[in-house]
Amino acid sequence: MRIETLLSPGLLTNGLRLRTEAARAISSCEIVAGRSVGGKTQQAATLAAFFTDCAAALSTLADLVVPTWAGAVATATSATQINVVFAEAMDQTVVPAISAFAISGDTITAVAWTSATNLRITGTGFAAAESLAYTKPASNYIRDAAGNALATGTKTLV
């Protein structure tokens, strides 16, 4: 395993050393694999368990959960407003473009955050049971406070 093929752990104290040691450990598994039957599986499984444990220990420090439409409720509060409520705090500094949304036969005229978990979509002709579609743009996409992006999807209005 070449060190250049691994992602950088970022600007950590001993980050380069960590990356080097990880590459060496993977290389060791590759060498063992060539010397013994079943060695690859056993060594790789042990190393994978170690890295999985490391990732689990870090999970309490980082929000890696991607926001989803499944975790949101979209309500047609009137024929002119849709209120989308997310299950977690979103990044209000990024306001998605109107063009990121579509709803059959209806017109969307504005998109604005009303709180960290509420996005208001203004337009005309909204009604329950219609599907609100979101297409993740290249920039100014909806994301949570940790920067995890909302994927393209649809939500049926209630």
Do 121 and 48 share a structural domain? no
Of the candidates 144, 138, 139, the one whose C-alpha atom is nearest the C-alpha of residue 119 is 144
Give pLDDT, residue 102. 95
Query: For residue 43, what pLDDT is reported?
Result: 78
Residues 80 and 130 in one domain: yes
Same domain, 43 and 89: no
* Domain of residue 24, residue span: 3-59
Overall number of domains in the chain: 2
Contact present, 92 and 120 (Cβ < 8 Å): no
Contact 134, 153 (CB under 8 A): yes
Question: How confident is the prediction for the chain on average, in pLDDT?
Answer: 87
**Is this model's pTM higher than 0.85 or not?**
no
Q: Choose between 28 and 119: higher pLDDT.
A: 119
pLDDT tens profile 33-58: 666 666 567 778 888 888 888 888 88
In a domain, residue 64? The reply is: no
Same domain, 47 and 80: no
One domain, residues 39 and 74: no
CATH number of the domain to which 134 belongs: 2.60.40.1220
Tell me the mean pLDDT in the region 83-89.
Answer: 91
Same domain, 102 and 79: yes
CB 103 within 8 A of CB 149: no
pLDDT digits (tens, 9 = 90+) for 58-77: 877 778 788 888 777 889 88
Same domain, 79 and 43: no
Please write the tens of the pLDDT for every residue from 118-158: 999 999 999 989 999 999 999 999 999 989 999 999 999 98
Say if 115 falls within a structural domain. Answer: yes
Would you state the pLDDT for residue 40?
A: 63
Question: Pick from 40, 59, 78: which residue ends a domain?
Answer: 59
Q: Say whether both 9 and 47 belong to one domain.
A: yes
Same domain, residue pair 76 and 53:
no
Beta-bridge partners for 113: 119
Q: What angle do CA 125, 75, 150 make, to 5 degrees?
A: 105
The packing angle between helices 39-59 and 15-35, to 10°, is 160
